[in-house]
Amino acid sequence: MKNSAPLAPALDSPLSILKGVGPARAQAFERQGIETIGELLFHVPRRVDSSGRACNLDEALACEGPETLILHGELSRKQFKRFGRRSTLRLTVTDGECELEVVYFNQPWQRERFERGEVYSFAGRLSASAKGPLMVAPKMAPGPNALEAGSWIPTYSLPKGVGQELVRSLLRLALDTLEAPLPDLLKAQELAALELPALSVAIEQLHFPQSLKEFQDARRRVLLQDLLMLQARVRLGAQVEPAPACALQIESSTPAQHAARLALPFVLTAGQQQILAQLVEDLAQPVPMRRLLQGDVGAGKTVLALLATSAVAASAGQCAFMAPTELLAEQHYESSRRLLEAAGLRCALLTGSQPNALRNLTSKGLAAGDIDIVFGTHALFSKSLRYKRLAFCVIDEQQRFGVAQRARLLEKGGAAHLLLMTATPIPRTLALTIYGNLEVSILREKPAGRGPIKTRWLRAKDGARLPQFLAERMDAGEQVYWVCPRIGAQEDGGAEAAFERLSNSDLAKHGTTLVHGQLKPEVRAERLDAFRRGEVQLLIATTVIEVGVDVPAATVMVIEEAERLGLAQLHQLRGRVGRGGKRSWCLLYGKPTARERFELLEQCDDGFVIAEEDLRRRGMGELAGLRQSGELGGMLTSLEDDLDLLLAARELLSTRPELGPQLLRPGP
């Protein structure tokens, strides 16, 4: 046993070796998949932001847009208004010549911080308003030049209860005390050819960049490392033949028997039956299944995964059903448990935001084998979680998981069967590169009784008729989604602003509610339930509802600022309507810059055709579907920009095969 004197951390030291990380924090980090110093160092920031550019008021007034500006001025006016629970604090800042408006919405405490006649520094962006440029909710420090300009600050995906500042200080501590510098297996000339820094430099610059370029290069070096490991595993996997045997023999009854067991409220389509037969056959094999199921939005993939889980559970194997967002995991759990429990199977839900007591209960149940099927987010694969006999993993919307996350999940899966599902097709060659051996099934037809969806790009003049149209649909008992890409508030535009506006319009009598990713899960679930039950007919939401939400009475989807969303995402969103056999509409508001995208959606409602078209247009399309969501930690990157790295990783490993085992060797 090592003595208890403070140790210099090594890559594989537990996080708790760092001062400031006690058991509770260690547990919180674990939920994000961070348990060792190495995992902390390789935790890639979700983004970096410039602390801002310092400028004078008159320069600033000309710079509306996304850039963060730092300026100062004297407070010449201060006005505070309250409307019920909402409030507005309006400030006017001047340098003697120009004036700038600064506004804080719903932060009544802010008014205490400002005194007329004093000078303040602000950091924020300028947005346009009817009355001229406006700085909404900027960062403030009293005095002139009181905010630092010109540095770059990373933001991490973090578990609840862990702050950005804490992570930054832990990273500093780890980097300053690390036992040995990180070795780089790549040679100097290999790095030079790729124009990338060495790993130890990259790790420093990933977390403490001096410029955006430094951060971007560092991120690419770290990504390359992950891709090298991934490729090394794929190569290794390809050599080990046959694959590890399954721990459990799955009983091979007929698809019909499995379907009967779940007492489905509908009949499977021919395509579904065929794929189910394939799954049942795969599961009965002594080698683990590795299958990717592709099918357009609403094609009915979930039920196939459920039938497969019930087959596995019937043979006493445990199943893990993973989704990329908590919302989707909850939806799957809520909509599936009735069927599964009626068939005598025990279900549970496990997500990062559940209270500890509940999580512990589920962990115990999984370890003891008291739970047959667990639904959840990537918390399902945290290292400390033990399954009694995990036999089958389902990963829904798999394209939303990061490359490296998928690699880790595959590892966790071990000898378990694996079913990946996606609505975004991936070309087979690319799938092979990323996953090694993978069979692909395609679900082409959709269940009968689906109403057609009419998609229209609305011009401003159509807007006047929209309320009337929506009122008619809702009078007929139908329901409406109103989607805004941004949360936003008030003048800023976005879901909160739309909610405010619609709740004060004639449409409010049909009931309105608001759902976005920053709500507490209980609140969000409650509001969605009210919509699902039809008590509320108009749901205003961000794209959190992109996947999973299933309300047959919803027939209209309105999307604001649609130019901010990609084709695949728009298609996925519109798949929320047209689920109940009634005629449905998808109405897009968006800038003409995205005209081509809107016209394609107007003409075509087949997700595969759209994906292919999307690929063709962007040239690099193989990579559609590998885009990643910003909602998870881990290696978040768009492979579109980093395809060259994937290819470089392949090339490096084939010219220097000895790298493979070196990469996979556990750290010192």
Cα-only R_g, the chain: 27
- Residue 253 found at the interface with ligand ADP (CB under 6 A): no
Tell me which residue has its CB nearest to ligand ADP.
300
Q: How far is the CB of 265 from ligand ADP (least distance, A)?
A: 8
Choice between 126 and 275, CB closer to ligand ADP: 275
Please tell me the distance from the alpha carbon of residue 517 to that of residue 424, in angstroms, as a whole number: 23
Q: How far is the CB of 653 from ligand ADP (least distance, A)?
A: 35
Please tell me the distance from the alpha carbon of residue 525 to that of residue 330, in angstroms, as a whole number: 8
Q: How far is the CB of 229 from ligand ADP (least distance, A)?
A: 31
Choice between 303 and 489, CB closer to ligand ADP: 303
Alpha carbon 110 to its chain centroid, in Å, reads 32
**Binding region for ligand ADP (CB under 6 A) out of 183-191, 291-299, 514-522, 608-616:** 291-299
Number of residues that bind ligand ADP (CB under 6 A): 16
Strands 290-295 and 119-127: unpaired
Please tell me the distance from the alpha carbon of residue 454 to that of residue 265, in angstroms, as a whole number: 27
Choice between 38 and 324, CB closer to ligand ADP: 324
Q: Measured between alpha carbons, how far is residue 461 from residues 12, 394, 465, 483, 598 in Å? A: 61, 46, 8, 20, 17
- Residue 578 found at the interface with ligand ADP (CB under 6 A): no
Q: What number of other Cβ atoms are within 10 A of residue 301's Cβ?
A: 24
**Binding region for ligand ADP (CB under 6 A) out of 10-18, 82-90, 264-272, 617-625:** 264-272
The correct pick among 28, 91, 201, 268 for binding ligand ADP (CB under 6 A) is 268
Torsion of CA 278, 279, 281, 283, to 10 degrees: 160
Helix 212-239, helix 199-207: angle, nearest 10? 130
- Residue 334 found at the interface with ligand ADP (CB under 6 A): no
Choice between 125 and 579, CB closer to ligand ADP: 579
Choice between 406 and 576, CB closer to ligand ADP: 576
The correct pick among 298, 324, 580, 634 for binding ligand ADP (CB under 6 A) is 298
The secondary structure of 372-425, three-state, reads CEEEECHHHHCCCCCCCCEEEEEECCHHHCCHHHHHHHHHHHCCCEEEEEECCC
- Residue 297 found at the interface with ligand ADP (CB under 6 A): yes
Q: How far is the CB of 97 from ligand ADP (least distance, A)?
A: 58
- Residue 45 found at the interface with ligand ADP (CB under 6 A): no
- Residue 295 found at the interface with ligand ADP (CB under 6 A): yes
- Residue 266 found at the interface with ligand ADP (CB under 6 A): yes
Choice between 19 and 266, CB closer to ligand ADP: 266
Q: Is 416 exposed, middle or buried (0-12, 13-18, 19+ CB in 10 A)?
A: buried
**Binding region for ligand ADP (CB under 6 A) out of 20-28, 95-103, 261-269, 338-346:** 261-269
Write down the residue that tokens 């759990």 correspond to: 333
**Binding region for ligand ADP (CB under 6 A) out of 297-305, 310-318, 497-505, 517-525:** 297-305
Choice between 580 and 634, CB closer to ligand ADP: 580
Strands 119-127 and 134-136: antiparallel
- Residue 303 found at the interface with ligand ADP (CB under 6 A): yes
Please tell me the distance from the alpha carbon of residue 333 to that of residue 331, in angstroms, as a whole number: 5
* Element housing 106 (H / E): none
Helix 326-342, helix 255-262: angle, nearest 10? 100
Contacts of 131 (CB under 8 A, 6+ apart): 101
Q: How far is the CB of 230 from ligand ADP (least distance, A)?
A: 26
Q: How far is the CB of 376 from ligand ADP (least distance, A)?
A: 17
Alpha carbon 553 to its chain centroid, in Å, reads 27
Contacts of 70 (CB under 8 A, 6+ apart): 51, 52, 53, 54, 55, 121, 122, 123, 147, 149
Choice between 207 and 579, CB closer to ligand ADP: 579
Q: Are 2 and 11 in contact (CB under 8 A)?
A: no
The correct pick among 125, 219, 301, 510 for binding ligand ADP (CB under 6 A) is 301
Q: How far is the CB of 266 from ligand ADP (least distance, A)?
A: 4
Q: How far is the CB of 331 from ligand ADP (least distance, A)?
A: 9
* Element housing 321 (H / E): strand 318-322
Choice between 18 and 297, CB closer to ligand ADP: 297
Q: Measured between alpha carbons, how far is residue 51 from residues 48, 69, 211 in Å? A: 9, 8, 11
Q: How far is the CB of 390 from ligand ADP (least distance, A)?
A: 23
- Residue 300 found at the interface with ligand ADP (CB under 6 A): yes
Choice between 301 and 574, CB closer to ligand ADP: 301
Q: Are 75 and 120 in contact (CB under 8 A)?
A: yes
Please tell me the distance from the alpha carbon of residue 399 to that of residue 420, in angstroms, as a whole number: 9
Site for ligand ADP in 507-526 (CB under 6 A): none
Q: How far is the CB of 275 from ligand ADP (least distance, A)?
A: 11
Please tell me the distance from the alpha carbon of residue 415 to that of residue 439, in angstroms, as a whole number: 16
Torsion of CA 521, 524, 529, 530, to 10 degrees: 150
Q: How far is the CB of 541 from ligand ADP (least distance, A)?
A: 17
DSSP state of 244: P
Choice between 302 and 310, CB closer to ligand ADP: 302
54: three-class secondary structure by DSSP: strand
Choice between 25 and 579, CB closer to ligand ADP: 579
Q: How far is the CB of 407 from ligand ADP (least distance, A)?
A: 24
The correct pick among 251, 550, 631, 640 for binding ligand ADP (CB under 6 A) is 550
**Binding region for ligand ADP (CB under 6 A) out of 1-9, 77-85, 148-156, 262-270:** 262-270
The correct pick among 302, 354, 422, 555 for binding ligand ADP (CB under 6 A) is 302
Choice between 442 and 525, CB closer to ligand ADP: 442
Alpha carbon 152 to its chain centroid, in Å, reads 24
**Binding region for ligand ADP (CB under 6 A) out of 106-114, 296-304, 366-374, 506-514:** 296-304
Contacts 24+ apart (CB under 8 A), 109-115: 111/78, 111/80, 113/140, 113/142, 114/75, 114/78, 114/89, 115/75
Q: How far is the CB of 577 from ligand ADP (least distance, A)?
A: 12
The correct pick among 191, 232, 276, 299 for binding ligand ADP (CB under 6 A) is 299
**Binding region for ligand ADP (CB under 6 A) out of 80-88, 301-309, 368-376, 525-533:** 301-309
Site for ligand ADP in 420-459 (CB under 6 A): 423, 447
Choice between 159 and 300, CB closer to ligand ADP: 300
- Residue 402 found at the interface with ligand ADP (CB under 6 A): no
Q: What number of other Cβ atoms are within 10 A of residue 143's Cβ?
A: 11
Q: How far is the CB of 305 from ligand ADP (least distance, A)?
A: 8
> Which residues contribute to the site for ligand ADP (CB under 6 A)?
266, 268-269, 272, 295, 297-303, 423, 447, 550, 579
